[in-house]
Amino acid sequence: MTFQTLRCELADGIATLSFDEPNSPVNTMCAAWQDDIVAAVEQIAAQKDQLRGVILASAKKTFFAGADLKSVMRLTEADAPAVFAEIERLKRAFRTLETLGIPVVACLNGSALGGGWEVALAAHHRVAVDDPKSQFGLPELTLGLIPGATGITKMTRLLGLMGAQPFIMESQLFNPRQGHELGLVHELVASDGELRARALAWIAANPQAKQPWDDKAYKIPGGTPANPKIAGGLVVAPAMLTAKTHGNYPAPEAALSAMVEGAQVDYDTATRIESRYLASLMAGPVARNMINTFFFNLNAIKSGQSRPKDVPRFKPAKVGILGAGMMGAGIAYAQASRGIATVLKDVSSEKAEQGKGYSARLTQKRVDKGRMSPVDQQALLGRITPTASAADLQGCELIIEAVFEQRELKAKVTQEAEPMLAAGGFFASNTSTLPISGLAQASKAPAKFVGIHFFSPVDKMKLVEIIRGQQTDDETVARAFDYVLALGKLPIVVNDSRGFYTSRTFGTYVMEGAAMLGEGIPAAVIENAAVQAGLPVGPLAVLDETALSLSVHVLDQTRADYQAEGKVFEATPGELLVERMVKELKRNGRAAGGGFYDYPQGAKKQLWPELKKLFEKPGAAWNVKDIQDRLLYRQSVETARCLAEGVLTSVHDANVGSIFGIGFPAWTGGAMQFIYGQGIAAFEARCAELVAAHGQGFALDAAAKAAIRKFEPRY
C-alpha cells in the first residue's frame, strides 16, 4: 500500500512506521497523515499474527510537530460534528495499535509536541535521544485548544490528576531527561543510531505489551475525584480558574472538565469525552483567534518577515545606553544577561552606579532562589560599565538614548554620544511618543538613526517596537531587528508618527477610560469591566502606573508641536480630564503618591474616594457590554487607522504588538484579529453604533475600511 506522509515497512516480524510528510520540515497531523495512519494501522492489524512488534519513527530532524493548524483556521461552528467524527477516527487507530497484543515502541529522535506527543503516547514504550534541546509536551492550551487526541486521558492516567495538571493546564514542557524522571520516557540513548536497537531489544523482552490502564490491577495515581484529598482541591479549582480567565478562555475549563470527568469513567469513555470538548474548541472562535496570533503571527515575526531582506546578520558585542533611570537600567540588564558588553552612562557616576544596582538586585533574587550561581551573577554584572564620561562609549556598535521625554535633552545627549560610535555603528532613541524623524535632526547621520522602544519593566516585557524614521535606511532597521532578537525579545517594525503604534493605541485605551469617568460612570465599574474583558489592568490603574503627569507632559508637547506647525489641536475629553487631575487636583500618579488611586503604606491600593464627588453621576446610564466594547473597539479602530496610514505595514505586527505591548486580551488574537473574529461587517456596524453614541473616536473612514479588507488573512 502507498502512503503520502509515512512509510510502512515490514521486515523480520517488525512493522516500522516512518513519518515523513513531503514538502514540510516537520511531521504534522494533516488530513493526508490522518488518512495514512488509519490505513497503515489497518494493514498492521490484518498482519498482526506475523508481527513481533511495531516501531514508530521519524524521517525528520524532530519526531512530530503536532496538529495541522491551517486546517483549524478554516473551520466554523457548523463543522463541529464532522471534527468530532474525525478525532474519533484517529483515536480508533491509536486504540487499535495499542491493543494489538504486540509491543509498540516510539523512537523519539527529537521534539514531540502537542499531537506529536500524543502519537508517542500511543506506544507502550518510549525511547528518546538524551538531547536537552528536545522538547516534549502538550502546549495546546496556549493556542486555545486542548490535547484531545488522547493527551488528557493518558497523561492523567500516567501521572494522576494532580501530577498531570502542570503539563495539561499550564502547558509545561519537558526535555527527555525530565520525561525519564517522570516515567513518561522509558529509556534514554546517546544518539539516533541507538534508537532502533533499544526498541528491538524491548520488543524481544516484552512480547505481550499493553498500556497500564488496560491492566485489571490499574489505579489512577493519587486516586480518582472520589478521593477526599483530590475532591478537596477540585471544589475550589473551577473558581480559581474563573478568577484567572474571567470566562474568556474556554480551553482551560474544557481541559479541567475532561481531566475530572475522564478520571471517573473507563478509558474509552474518557477519550470520547475529551473528543467532544476538543471538537467544540476547534470549531469555536477563540481557538482561531489564538492560533492566528500565537502561532502564525509569532512565527512570522521570529522568522524575520518584518526585517528588511538582503542585509547581513548583525550580532551586537558592545552597546551604550544613555540614562541610567528605570528604562536605561532595565535595558542594561537585558543586554548583560545576554552576554552583551554594556556601557551605562548618566550625568554622574553615582547615578550610573545606581542604574547598575538594578541588575544587582534582580540577579540577587535569582541567586537567593538558587536559579543563578554567584559566579554567573558576577559575570553578568561585570558586563555593565557605569560611567559619567562619554569617552567610555568609544567603540559601541549601537548607542541607545533612554533619557527624559524632552526633545532638547535628547538632542543634546545624541550630539554628545554619536561621535563615539564604532565605524558603521548606529544610534537609537527609546522614546515612547516623540517622532523619530524629528529626533533624528540632531544626528549627523539620520539614515543611521532609529527608534527602539522598550516597554517597562524591560526585564519582563517581551515586546520591542522598532520605529523607522523618514530617513532611516534598511540596514539600520535590520540591525535593530537583530539586536532585539539577540535580547530574546519580540521586535515589531513600524513607521514613524506621533506615538508610533503602541503608545498611540495605548493612549486611546486609557483616555477612553478617563472619558467614561468624566461622563459620570463609576470608576470601579470601568476598572472591573476592563479586567473582565481580559485586559490585564483597568485604564485608570494603568494611567497611575505610567504617571498622569507624563500623559500631560506629552499633551503639552503635542500642543506646542501643533502650534509650531500652524495647526489646531483639540484634546479629547479623556485628555482634558487627566489634565485636570494633574494641574488642578495635583494627582500625578502612583510614583507621586497617588492619582486615580490612593496607595496606603502596607495596604492594598484603593480608588481615590474624591472621584465619586468630583466625577460620578448617579443618573449616568451604562452597561458593562458597552464599556467593554468602547475599550476594545477604540483600540482596534486606531489599529486599523495605523494600517491605513502606513504606520503599520502588517497584521502580524499589529496583533503581536497589541497583545505583548499594550495588553490587548489574548483571547481576541490581538487588535486586528479582534476585527476579523467579529466579522468585518459586524465590526463596522458596531462601530457605527458607537460613533452615534460616543463620538468620532470610533469612526472608520474609507481608508481604514479598505485597509481592514486588504490585510484580512487567508488560510
Residue 292 lies in a domain: no
Residue 297 lies in a domain: no
Strands 396-401 and 421-429: parallel
Rounded to whole angstroms, the Cα distance separating 632 from 675 reads 10
Window from 328-337, 550-559, 701-710 with minimum mean pLDDT: 550-559
Regarding whether 471 and 517 lie in a shared domain, the answer is no
Would you say residue 228 has pLDDT above 90? no
What is the sign, positive or negative, of the torsion defined by CA atoms of 240, 245, 250, 251?
negative
Q: DSSP secondary-structure letter at 474?
A: H
Strand positions, DSSP E, 606-656? 606-607
Regarding whether 332 and 471 lie in a shared domain, the answer is yes
- One-letter amino acid at 101 equals G
- CATH number (domain holding residue 559): 1.10.1040.50
Please report which residue ranges of 74-186 form alpha helices under DSSP H.
80-98, 115-121, 151-168, 176-182
Closest CA to 715 of 240, 213, 74: 74
Regarding whether 121 and 238 lie in a shared domain, the answer is yes
Would you say residue 301 has pLDDT above 80? yes
Residue 593 lies in a domain: yes
Regarding whether 698 and 668 lie in a shared domain, the answer is yes
pLDDT tier for residue 81 given thresholds of 50, 70 and 90:
very high
Q: Which domain holds residue 486?
A: 318-498
pLDDT reported for residue 621 = 92
pTM of the model: 0.93
pLDDT reported for residue 418 = 97
Would you say residue 110 has pLDDT above 90? yes
Rounded to whole angstroms, the Cα distance separating 630 from 635 reads 8
pLDDT tier for residue 498 given thresholds of 50, 70 and 90:
confident
Rounded to whole angstroms, the Cα distance separating 259 from 24 reads 33
pLDDT reported for residue 2 = 87
Regarding whether 508 and 470 lie in a shared domain, the answer is no
Would you say residue 474 has pLDDT above 90? yes
pLDDT reported for residue 550 = 87
Residue 114 lies in a domain: yes
Please report which residue ranges of 487-623 form alpha helices under DSSP H.
502-518, 523-532, 539-546, 548-564, 573-583, 610-614
Of 234, 261, 283, the domain-final residue: 283
What the block records as the C-alpha cell of 318 is 558592545
Regarding whether 421 and 278 lie in a shared domain, the answer is no
Regarding whether 329 and 279 lie in a shared domain, the answer is no
- One-letter amino acid at 445 equals A
Regarding whether 487 and 518 lie in a shared domain, the answer is no
pLDDT tier for residue 405 given thresholds of 50, 70 and 90:
confident
Would you say residue 1 has pLDDT above 80? no
Would you say residue 525 has pLDDT above 90? yes
Regarding whether 54 and 185 lie in a shared domain, the answer is yes
pLDDT reported for residue 499 = 86
pLDDT reported for residue 557 = 83
pLDDT reported for residue 235 = 82
- The crossing angle, in degrees rounded to 10, of helices 326-336 and 349-368 is 50
Of 481, 498, 515, the domain-final residue: 498
Q: Give the number of domains in the chain.
A: 3
pLDDT reported for residue 546 = 86
pLDDT reported for residue 236 = 87
Residue 472 lies in a domain: yes
pLDDT reported for residue 113 = 97
- Mean pLDDT (whole number) for 260-275: 97
Residue 705 lies in a domain: yes
pLDDT reported for residue 552 = 93
pLDDT tens digits, one per residue of 592-643? 999 999 999 999 999 999 999 999 999 899 999 999 999 999 999 999 999 9
Regarding whether 215 and 359 lie in a shared domain, the answer is no
Of 498, 513, 546, the domain-final residue: 498
pLDDT reported for residue 432 = 85
Q: DSSP secondary-structure letter at 308?
A: P
- CATH number (domain holding residue 480): 3.40.50.720
Regarding whether 385 and 453 lie in a shared domain, the answer is yes
Regarding whether 202 and 91 lie in a shared domain, the answer is yes
- CATH number (domain holding residue 207): 3.90.226.10
Mean residue pLDDT across the chain: 96
Residue 106 lies in a domain: yes
Residue at grid coordinates 509536551:
137
- CB crowding 248-262: b at 16 or more within 10 Å, else e: ebbbbbbbbbbbbbb
Residue 358 lies in a domain: yes
Q: What percent of the chain has pLDDT over 70?
A: 100
Rounded to whole angstroms, the Cα distance separating 287 from 110 reads 27
